[in-house]
Amino acid sequence: MNIRTLAFLAIASCAALWIADSAPAQDNTVTITNFKFEPKTLTVPAGATVTWENKEGAHTVTADKGQFKSPNLRAGEKFSFTFTKPGAYAYHCAFHGSSGGGNMAGSIIVAPPKKR
């Protein structure tokens, strides 16, 4: 192994570490577009903050059971909520959906923290 190979390996392994270290946390964004939530079901770890980003029209993010409720979101507006308790959270748009998954609706699944 010559010095160039060594140098390359050293740089490559540093880069690999850097990438692993700076990998962004899971993308917890739900896009609101064309009268639907995308993805419709999103699974996140407990403690995660989910952000809904409205791309078009006026919509809301309203939990079926009232755990969270956004104001009316116009195009370009966002709403965030931090989920601390594991469980399934069904939500809908107050204008175009209804509780129980009717029309414009989605759900967030909050997984329990991993045991170490």
Residue ranges that bind Cu ion, judged by CB under 5 A: 59, 93, 95-96, 104
Q: Closest separation between CB of residue 81 and Cu ion, Å? A: 17
C-beta separation of 70 from 79 below 8 A: yes
Between CA 78 and CA 51 the distance in angstroms is: 7
Query: Which CB, 72 or 82, lies closer to Cu ion?
Result: 72
On the question of a cis peptide bond just before residue 71, with omega within 30 degrees of 0, the verdict is no
Element (H, E) at 4: helix 3-22
Min dist CB 104 to Cu ion, Å, is 5
Closest distance of CB 109 from Cu ion, Å: 21
59 vs 68, beta carbon nearer Cu ion: 59
Compare residues 42 and 104 and give the one whose CB is closer to Cu ion. 104
Two tokens at 81? Answer: 């909520």
